[in-house]
Structures are given as structure tokens and as C-alpha cells.
Amino acid sequence: MNNMYEEFGRWISILYRQFQIYINNELKDLGITSAEYIYLIKLYENKELTQENLAEIYYIDKAAITRSIKSLEDKGYIMRIKNERDKRSYRIQVTEKALKTKHRIYDALKSWDDLISLDVSDEELKMVSHIIRTMSLKALNRD
Amino acid sequence: MNNMYEEFGRWISILYRQFQIYINNELKDLGITSAEYIYLIKLYENKELTQENLAEIYYIDKAAITRSIKSLEDKGYIMRIKNERDKRSYRIQVTEKALKTKHRIYDALKSWDDLISLDVSDEELKMVSHIIRTMSLKALNRD
């Protein structure tokens, strides 16, 4: 096997897992998990989104999104608003409670970004991000 | 929040998750999961390893490794050999059954590598790998 790819995959996995551990720990007292905070981020940026919008942003399957959205709703962080025209469809918005925790989530993310980027320039970050995106798009279009 | 990091994190997560889906699917008939195949890879490369060795390679906590190793043992892919001097310590080796599935695992990984690297040069891969490693090491040394 090509050792270059094995190393690459290993470091991607390590970075991913370490971040999951970090963010779960940082948001534990808020009751928000690593699987859930990502939706809040997008709902802070956009007044209102549908589940379909979130699926398109993160490429996460419908069942998993439904689970996370339900959990966030149960904990009072989001509200689902029924669509008048299509009763099976919902619009999702953050609640006051979620707005109050916004700075906590952003601070945690900022601390992480500062930490991992200590020896990485903006130029390098941009380039890495572009290449990872190229790889991801290939992965997503594999059918 | 810095949008550059949000994009970066989003693409890392997408690539990570897509690979998990891919490899779980590819190895499903072997009964090997994405959490487990990584240990087989290292055991193919090294005649014998301890759980501590595997923890150092992947930075995965002991409980999770124990679970995966136990599962691989139950399925007949590895054997644990008691250490004569220290009865709590085990040496781990692959079985004949695991050796027979080696090509399946390597083929699946090779197909994935070929797919995601279609528009990425070796030079770029090396650089990205180096930067992700730099970030991961910062993450691992965080407290």
C-alpha cells in the first residue's frame, strides 16, 4: 500500500477525532454534541433553513440530521416551524436560548482554530482547504 | 467566526465521513468496520504489536482499542498472546483468516486513494499531509 496515503488518512482521522473530543468536552455543560453544534452554526448565519438545506451543506444523511435536529429541539436550541403549503416540510430557526450560547460555541471554535494554526500560515490553510475540498468532491461524486 | 476555518473543518469532516461510509460498505461482507480495519493494517506491516503500540499510532483511547481488538478477535482476524512476564499485557498478531483478506482491504484503500487523488499531485498530497500532521500534533499536545 502507498504509505503516503496511509499517513495522510491517519492524520486526517487523528485531527477529526481530536476535534470531536475537544468540542464535545467544551460544549458538554450546554448539552450540545459534536454532531449537533454544526447545525447551530449554520442557523446563526442564516435566519432560517430547512433540513434539506442542512443536508446539502454537510452531506449528512437524512436520518442522522433528523436525529440531531430533534435532539436540539428537545433541548430548546431550535424550533421547527411547519410549512403551510407542505405539511411534511419544516423551516428551522434558532431560539433565544441558542442565541445566548452563540458566543460559547464561537469561542470554543476560535480557540481550536488558534491552537491548530499556530505553525500554519493563512496561505497554507487556504491551499490545504482547497485540496481537501477537491478530494471530498471526488468522494461525494463516486456514486 | 473565521469562515476560512469553518470551510476547512467542514471539508475535513465531509472527507472523513465519506471515507467511513465507503470503507464500511466495502468491508461489510468481511464483518470488518472502519474502526477495526486500521489495526489490521498495522498488524500486516508489523509481525506483532501490543495494544499500547496501537494506541500510540492512532491516539485512540484504551477503552475503544480494547473494544475493537476484542471484536476482531471474536471474528477470528487476530489472536492475543499472553505475555509470559506480564500477564496483563498481550501481544497481538493477525490470523490466517486476516492474511487472506489482506488484499481486499488494500484494494479498497487503493481504490479510494485513486479516486480522491485524481486531481491532486503527489507534491500536493505530501504538503497537505505535512500540514494536517502539524495541526494534529498541536491538537494532541493541547492541554
Say which amino acid occupies B73: E
pLDDT band at B84 (very low <50, low <70, confident <90, very high): confident
Residues 6 or more apart whose CB falls under 8 angstroms from that of A57 comprise A42, B10
Going by C-beta distance under 8 Å and a sequence separation of 6 or more, which residues neighbour residue A143? none
**What's the pLDDT score for residue A1?**
53
Predicted pLDDT at B2? 61
In chain B, whose CA is at the least distance from the CA of A139?
Answer: B116
Residue A85 confidence (pLDDT): 81
pTM of the model: 0.93
Do the Cβ atoms of A106 and B1 come within 8 Å? yes
Chain B closest-CA separation from residue A12 CA (Å): 7
Residue range of the domain that includes A127: 3-140
Number of domains present in the structure of chain A:
1
**Interface with chain B: mutation pick from A121, A132, A140, highest number of B CBs within 10 Å:** A132
Please state, in angstroms and rounded to a whole number, the distance separating the CA atoms of residues B8 and B19: 17
Say whether A8 and B132 touch across the interface (CB within 8 A): yes
Q: Contact A5/B125, CB-based, under 8 Å? A: yes
| CB-based contact B16 A19, cutoff 8 Å | no
Question: How many A-B residue pairs are in contact by the CB < 8 A criterion?
Answer: 155
Report d(CA A126, CA B3) in Å as an integer: 11
- CATH code (residue A80): 1.10.10.10
CB contact under 8 A, A4 and B57: no
The sign of the CA dihedral A51, B8, B119, B45 is negative
Residue of B nearest to A113 (CA): B5
Average pLDDT over residues B38-45: 96
Give the pLDDT score at A40: 97
Sort out which chain B residues have CB atoms less than 8 A from A34's CB and list them.
none
Residue A78 CB-half CA count within 13 A: 30
Instruction: Determine whether the interchain pair A131/B120 forms a contact, defined as Cβ–Cβ distance below 8 Å.
Output: yes
Q: Is residue A46 scored above 60 in pLDDT? A: yes
Q: Is the pLDDT of residue A2 over 70?
A: no
The CA distances from residue A138 to A22, A142, B80, in Å, are 29, 6, 39
